Amino acid sequence: MLYIVPTPIGNLEDITLRALRILGEVDLVLAEDTRVSKRLLQHYDITTPIRAHHAHNEHGTTPQLVQQMETGTTMALVSDAGTPGISDPGFLLARACHEAGIRVECLPGATAFVPALVASGLPCDRFHFEGFLPHKKGRQTRLQHLAELPNTFVLYESPNRLVKCLDQLIEHCGEDRPASVARELSKLHEEVRSATLGSLANHYREQNKVKGEIVIVVGGK
CATH class of the domain comprising 113-218: alpha beta
Comparing C-alpha atoms, which of 185, 139, 190 is closest to residue 165?
A: 139
- pLDDT one-digit tens code per residue, 10-68: 999 999 999 999 999 999 999 999 999 999 999 999 999 999 999 888 899 999 999 99
On average, the pLDDT of the chain sits at 96
pTM: 0.92
Q: Which long-range contacts (CB under 8 A, 24 or more apart) does 168-177 make?
A: 168/139, 168/143, 169/143, 169/197, 169/216, 169/218, 170/197, 170/198, 170/201, 171/143, 172/143, 172/144, 172/146, 172/147, 173/146, 173/147, 173/197, 173/218, 173/221, 175/201, 177/218, 177/219
How far apart are alpha carbons 171 and 108 in whole angstroms? 37
- Structural domain boundaries in the chain: 2-106, 113-218
Q: For residue 100, what is the enclosing H or E element?
A: none
**Domain 2-106, CATH:** 3.40.1010.10
Residue type, 135: H
Q: Does 113-218 match 2-106 at the fold level?
A: no
Task: Read off the pLDDT band of 186 (50, 70, 90).
Answer: very high
